[in-house]
Structure 1
Amino acid sequence: MGMVALSGLFALSLAGCAASSTESSAVPGSPEQTQAAPQAVEQADAQKDQQAGEQAAQGGAVTAESADEATAEQEAANPAALQIVDSGWFAADNGMVDFAVKVQNPNKTVEAVDPVIEVVGKDDAGNVIFDETIETPGVLPDSTYYYSYVAGSTASKGTDSTTSAKPATVDFAIKTPEGSWQATGQKLADVYAVADGGAADTEFGAKEFTGTVTASEQLDGADQSRVDVILLDKDGKIEGGYFKIVDTEPGQAADYDIYAVGAPEFASYAVYASPWAEEAAE
């Protein structure tokens, strides 16, 4: 009996020591726990911040890429129409009309491949005396073009039956045939550099505009460029224009000389260049 009692007391003593040891190792506020807890929290917060930053960066890239893809898909399915934002014209003695238009393509990813400009001339009574469509080169996305042409060859004759009737008003519209849009990454901006050589009067009464044009790259596969001299009034609005096609190679300056016959009085002028594919000239 005595041995049994002593054994029981010894077992209880060991159990008490074990319990005391386990509890002391988990006592809140012990030096070990006080040092380890903030370090663990800081590491966890740092990992969370890093993960959040990586996810945000990946999410931003995905969002921008998705937005670009969405824009391309939307424009391919339903491109915005080309816009004529300024125009001007004047009639020659024979009734023909020299005109110029400023055209913008508001789309970011698609080119208008075969747009046509409709020119409608009317007399003082509002009667149509000519209605012509003129094919133009493609208009690259997010780009502004200047085109000058001549219209009125189909105008009805004047009272003497030898000259065309002069219009009182001329209206312009530009249209792109259905299916004539294509995706491209090319844009017109910063491709052409024009060195204006000035304007001079010629012996036969015309104005001669000279200078050089340089293309930094080849656009639309064109090895030619059109140079447009746009005549402007005192407010910077278009009065009319003249153009010429010149051969250009990337990085090499090409001379141009444009003769303006019967040009009206103008306050200033500007010279612009754009690609001209061979098929567009035919």
Structure 2
Amino acid sequence: MKLKHVGWVALSGLFAVSLAGCAAQNDQAAPTGSEQAVVQTEENQGPAAGQAAVDEQADAATAEQEAANPAELQIVDSGWFAADNGMVDFAVKVQNPNKTVEAIDPVIEVVGKDDSGNVIFDETIETPGVLPDSTYYYSYVAGSTADSSANSTEVVKPATVEFSITTPEGSWEATDQKLADVYVVQDGGAADTQFGAKEFTGTVTASESLDGATQSRVDVVLLDGNGKIEGGYFKIVDTQPGQAADYDIYAVGAPQYASYAVYASPWPEEDAA
């Protein structure tokens, strides 16, 4: 027992000398036995904590930059068709490329032109806010201001229709809300009605209330064989978080289409039509 005790003391002494040598080589004054803990912290926790700090600084810099100079909303796809009365049913796909700011009350401008390039109508439509890093679909009707000859009863239909979207100056607000994954749409299909229209039915469920909205708009977007927008229809429905709400949208004069998709977005009550 005595020899074992002496051996243990000797080994302990050697271990202490080894630690002291390491500390001397690295010019460290860490207490004996703490070096391993320090290494573990640097190797396992330091990089993650450091990256989190870098990400936080990057997010703050992005928020500051976007608040001062937000990127414009983008219309990345659009489509339209003219009804027999000359009115135009259209749909646009709008993206907000900013990560931290919402576009408040953006305005869609719709310009219809004849074969010669003359403007026959130029209308603006106010829309609800577009949340950051989100994609919205809007369907509307335009052409009520079409310019036709006072001596002619002929319906004027546009040869081309152009779309643009702008956000009023000072109408950007910081928010951490996003549109993604909030809405679930259960498509009930499309059926022909006895008066010739298509009826699209289904349910929409919002997991939360965005922008304080108690209503949601449901847009049925018609698509061609390449998945491009041909036009669309919409309806406003009352929604409560977590509860499915029925929708039925009648499409009068709908053109031939290859497929369709249904989208939902918040509709603040004051914007309801």
User: Shorter-chain TM-score: what band?
Assistant: 0.7 to 0.9
Match in the other structure for 1:181 = 172
Matched residue type, 1:80: A
Match in the other structure for 1:23 = none
Q: CA deviation at 1:280?
A: 1.5
Q: CA deviation at 1:278?
A: 1.4
Match in the other structure for 1:94 = 85
Structure 2's unaligned 5+ residue stretches are 1-9, 24-32
- Check whether the contact 1:96–1:164 (CA below 8 A) recurs between aligned residues: no
SS of 1:86 mapped into structure 2: strand
Q: How far apart are the structure 1 equivalents of 2:124 and 2:234?
A: 18
SS of 1:49 mapped into structure 2: helix
Change (3 A) 1:163 1:260: farther
Match in the other structure for 1:258 = 249
- Check whether the contact 1:98–1:240 (CA below 8 A) recurs between aligned residues: yes
Q: Which residue of the other structure, out of 31, 36, 52, is the alignment partner of 2:42?
A: 52
**1:103-161 deviations in whole A, cap 9, x for unaligned?**
00011111001100000111111111111110011100110000000000111126863
Match in the other structure for 1:39 = 19
Change (3 A) 1:36 1:155: same
Q: Which residue of the other structure, out of 124, 140, 153, is the alignment partner of 1:162?
A: 153
Change (3 A) 1:44 1:218: closer
Matched residue type, 2:16: A
Match in the other structure for 1:64 = 55
Match in the other structure for 2:28 = none
Matched residue type, 1:108: K
**1:198-224 deviations in whole A, cap 9, x for unaligned?**
111111111011111111111100100
Change (3 A) 1:70 1:98: same
Match in the other structure for 1:240 = 231
Q: CA deviation at 1:51?
A: 5.5
Matched residue type, 1:64: D
**1:231-277 deviations in whole A, cap 9, x for unaligned?**
00000000000000011111111111100000000000000000001
Structure with the largest fraction of helix? 1
Q: How far apart are the structure 1 equivalents of 2:41 and 2:199?
A: 67
Q: How far apart are the structure 2 equivalents of 1:104 and 1:129?
A: 28
Q: How far apart are the structure 1 equivalents of 2:163 and 2:238?
A: 29
SS of 1:211 mapped into structure 2: strand
Match in the other structure for 1:276 = 267
Structure 1's unaligned 5+ residue stretches are 1-29
Q: Which runs of structure 2 are paired with 1:122-201 in the superposition (5 Å)?
A: 122-157=113-148, 161-201=152-192
Matched residue type, 2:86: G
SS of 1:71 mapped into structure 2: helix
Matched residue type, 2:19: Q
SS of 2:191 mapped into structure 1: strand
Question: Taking structure 1 as the reference length, what is the TM-score of the superposition?
Answer: 0.84
- Check whether the contact 1:158–1:165 (CA below 8 A) recurs between aligned residues: no
Q: How far apart are the structure 2 equivalents of 1:199 and 1:261?
A: 13
Q: CA deviation at 1:56?
A: 3.7
Change (3 A) 1:63 1:97: same
Matched residue type, 1:254: A
Runs of 4+ in 1 over 6 A off after TM superposition: 30-33
**1:35-71 deviations in whole A, cap 9, x for unaligned?**
4332332857535524534544442222111111111
Q: CA deviation at 1:225?
A: 0.5
Q: Which residue of the other structure, out of 213, 218, 222, is the alignment partner of 1:231?
A: 222
SS of 2:89 mapped into structure 1: strand
